[in-house]
Structure 1
Amino acid sequence: MRLAFRIPAPAPLLCLSLIACLAGTVHADTWPQQEDGAEAAGFTEGGIEQLDSAMREIVANQDVAGMVWMLGKDGKIATYEAAGLARLDDQTPMTKDSLFRIYSMSKPVTAVAMMMLWEDGLWDFDDPISKYIPQFSNLQVLSSYDGDGNVELEDLQRQPTMRELMANTAGFAYGLFGDDPANAAFRDQGVLASSDLNELVEKVAGIPLMAQPGVQWYYSIGMDLQGYIVEQLTGMSFGEYLRQQLFEPLDMMDTRFYVLPEDRERFAEVHYWDRENESLAQQPHRTDRAGYLDPDRLESGGGGLVSSAHDYARFIQMLVNEGELDGARILAPESVRIIRTNSLTGDEDMRYGIGGPGQPGQGWSVNMAVLYDPQAAGSPQGPGTYYWAGAAGTSFWIDPVNDIFWLSMIQAQGPRRPGAANMGEVARDLIYQSLEK
């Protein structure tokens, strides 16, 4: 099993001391540290200067308080910059070492963990989820409901599969949106505020599915359930498995489910546009669940990780390299190709979208979205570009055709400045305009 025969990190990646490991300082000499330059990476110098200028303008206009951004191609870094503030209250500058709540960018990390265990033969895509979560053997499905609270349930026509769990077609709700009884139950029962994954699973087991398995795409709790499955398959906590099998081999020592006390000064805060004062304001911390300084907070595979630009870039480049980075083999190339392949059909109900007809040309692979038809989507990116983002604005995409990746790290949630730029589209268009022909 992989747990016994993992390839160790090369010597330069090994922790120099326990203190250095805990403080997240061991990546001082690992890629990426600085830019290789626009031309070395296959872009025009003027184009990258325009890209950097556009990102700084977004910060200057208070569309975001601060940002770290990175563009890579063919293993070279065209630009890696930081601008603005990580915290408004004490004017802490945003730096390349800043830490971010990456929220749903945790999902691709969970995908890699699951595929590692798939390679070990510990689960199969066509297995029923209940093989690993027996509490789900008798799930029920919403049949109908109305505004008066009348709800009808029906039995499962068949068990949802692991493939459907990873494709968001198993039928589970999430509680982030929707007024239906299933999503309302997620919120009422505080599923995402569970103390651990055992409690989360017990709560989900009592909430009906949104639809019969395989019928409809719903953005769901599925990736948190995968974290629980990792624990059942390995006998380790999800966070410990990630640390030993993924983060340490890749020198991602800033990435975990909580912020170490010594790293608190590096932790960027979330900001929103205060309409009354017409300026950015810092969001207060939530009090309904364990905070990011609590090492015992929920290890959420759907949205719980904290990371840095350095760490997530290493994760991205491992995927770009089809499973390997700096001598550490994480996945086989076949597994990476599975991760980035659209798993949905072309039907409207199965296309990527939340409760609607979806977005043309965009599908869902394993725990993230994939652009299968750029022309239909109106994008200059290559077919098969895969991507995802976090609730506080962190985002990335990988274009395997052109061997390009983009990573932007911000902390913004809630109201935005009127007329604020669409940062993702601005960056994307400038990047492709900057490619050397």
Structure 2
Amino acid sequence: MTIADTLTAALADAGIPGAVALTGSSRAAGDAIAIGTRGDGAPMTADSVFQLASMTKAVVSVAAMQLVEAGRLTLDAPIGDLLPGLADPQVLTGFDGDGRVQTRPAARPITLRHLLSHTSGLGYDFVHADMARARGAPPVPGTLASLATPLLFDPGDDWAYGISTDWVGLAVEAASGQRLDSWIADHITGPLGMTDTGFELTESRKARFVTNMARGEDGTLVPYPINIGGGTSGEFISGGGGMIGTAGDYMRFLRMLLNGGGIDGERILSRASIAEMTRNQIGSLRAGGMTTTMPALSAAVQWFPEMIAGWGLGFLINPETGADGRSAGSCAWAGICNTYFWFDPERDIAAVLLMQMLPFADPGALAVLGAFERAVYAA
């Protein structure tokens, strides 16, 4: 079967109304495969616009590395010198008999490297039960208060998926003197020609916007509109999940990474910076594990359970060949509405698969991802 045939069958089996998938290499992108509908009955198209959610993290990580190259950010200096909100990190130690939060000072400062590698100790309420309990009430998206939380462990001691990249976005703003959306437009999406990717749902994008779906009690998908990133009108712009965009645009970003930091005459990062970003930064720690406190939002998942997955400066890294085909040293991540990407330097393959439904890591969505990956490597 073709990749399109494989995807069509897998989506039907999962009850997911539509998706856009695209593969490419450092040299060129293939043709986007658009299947099914956008959820509102309109046909899915190659230029359909999705909430990229945590696929934003890779873009913001590149922005931070641009400022490292420029000498305006430093990977291993205390980031609290630039961001006062991280100047005195406190580690959660438990709760007293009345349920009050107990903390102690962190053993060491948080650095930009900790933030980019998710070893800062900062978590997510929907992943970490202790963090959700410490906060007491769900955070209000787009508020700085949503970023004020104790650490789950001392910086550098463990890996935990969380709000670290939102803080990276604030570091980009503080170091550059520009809003995060402006820096990214000027230095990444603009030069790469990613015209349909940004933090705002413009009128043009709204006309092609994919409706988010969620599993109902009977397992079928029903419309469930949700704003993951919050746009640009909040107290901060979400570097951890605020972007929307298309598969074609994101492929240009992945091709830049595969090509050592530049394509079509546009240099975004140096080859040395790309090498650092795609190198495991966390030693023998295990990345990619997520429990859940909100199963309607995200299922529990462990990426690459058959190996000890690593993390670079913005990406999950599988150190061995994956079960569905990707080579050792491939880099990847995803967004909470079941958007996925990976790039495989050894095979010179990049791939994007965009769906738009909850919960994250839904078994049906993972089955579609697995079928897509196997088809890509069989082609």
Note closer, same or farther for the CA distance 1:284–1:426 as it changes in structure 2 (3 Å cut). Answer: same
| Cα 1:147–1:415 shift into 2, 3 Å | farther
Aligned partner of 2:185 in structure 1 is 243
Deviates more, 1:132-141 or 1:106-115: 132-141
The separation in 2 between residues aligned to 1:120 and 1:261, in whole angstroms, is: 35
Cα distance, 1:220 vs structure 2? 1.5
For residues 190 and 409 of structure 1, the distance between their equivalents in structure 2, rounded to whole angstroms, comes to 27
Higher deviation after alignment, 334-343 or 53-62: 53-62
The 5-angstrom pairing of residues 151-300 of structure 1 reads 151-180=101-130, 182-186=131-135, 188=137, 190=139, 193-195=141-143, 199-200=144-145, 204-205=147-148, 207-276=149-218, 279-285=220-226, 295-297=232-234, 298-300=236-238
Tell me what 2:290 maps to.
Answer: 354
Shift >4 Å, 4+ stretches? 289-292, 355-358, 415-421
- Secondary structure (helix, strand or coil) at the match of 1:67 reads strand
- Check whether the contact 2:338–2:361 (CA below 8 A) recurs between aligned residues: no
Aligned amino acid, residue 359 of structure 2 = G
Q: Cα–Cα, structure 1 residues 105 and 415, in superposed 2: closer, same or farther, change >3 Å?
A: closer
The match for 2:297 is none
| SS, match of residue 327 in structure 2 | coil
Give the corresponding residue for 1:75. 27
Q: Equivalent residue of 1:408, what SS?
A: strand
Q: How many residues align?
A: 367
* Structure 1 gap segments, 5+ residues each: 1-48
Check the 8 A contact 1:274/1:415 in 2, yes or no.
Answer: no
Taking structure 2 as the reference length, the TM-score comes to 0.89
> What is the CA-CA distance between 1:261 and the residue it aligns to?
2.1
Task: Render the CA deviation track for 1:1-44: whole Å, top value 9, x for unaligned.
Answer: xxxxxxxxxxxxxxxxxxxxxxxxxxxxxxxxxxxxxxxxxxxx
Report the CA distance shift for 1:393/1:332 in structure 2 as closer, same or farther (over 3 A).
Answer: same
Q: Provide the rounded CA distance (Å) in 1 between the counterparts of 2:186 and 2:280.
A: 29
**Per-residue deviation, 1:161:** 1.7
Aligned equivalents of 1:327 and 1:415: distance in 2?
A: 37
Relative to structure 1, the CA distance from residue 419 to residue 313 in structure 2 (aligned partners, 3 Å threshold; closer, same or farther) is closer
User: Matched residue of 2:2: which SS?
Assistant: helix
Give the letter aligned to residue 155 of structure 1: P
**RMSD of the alignment, in Å?**
2.6
Contact 1:58 1:421 in 2 (8 A): no
Contact 2:261 2:267 in 1 (8 A): yes
Shift of 1:265: 1.4
1:365 aligned residue? 312
Q: Which residue of 234, 239, 244 maps to 1:306?
A: 244
* Residues 193-217 of structure 1: per-residue CA shift (max 9 Å, x gap): 134xxx25xx534x32111111111
C-alpha distance in structure 1 between counterparts of 2:269 and 2:57, whole Å: 16
Q: Deviations over 1:112-145 (max 9, x none)?
A: 1001101101122110111211232222111233
Q: Look up the match of 1:401.
A: 346
The verdict on how the C-alpha distance between 1:240 and 1:212 changes in structure 2, with shifts beyond 3 A counting, is same
Q: TM-score, normalised by structure 1?
A: 0.77
**AA in 2 matched with 1:296:** S
Task: Please name the residue that 2:294 is paired with.
Answer: none
- Per-residue deviation, residues 233-279 of structure 1 (Å, max 9, x unmatched): 11111111111111111111111112102331100011123344x64
The structure that has the greater radius of gyration is 1
> Could you tell me whether the CA contact under 8 Å between 1:129 and 1:165 is conserved in 2?
no
Moved more, 66-75 or 306-315: 66-75
Deviation at 1:76, TM superposition (A): 3.8
Cα distance change, pair 84–165 in 1 and its aligned pair in 2 (3 A) = same
1: CA distance between counterparts of 2:345 and 2:15? 30
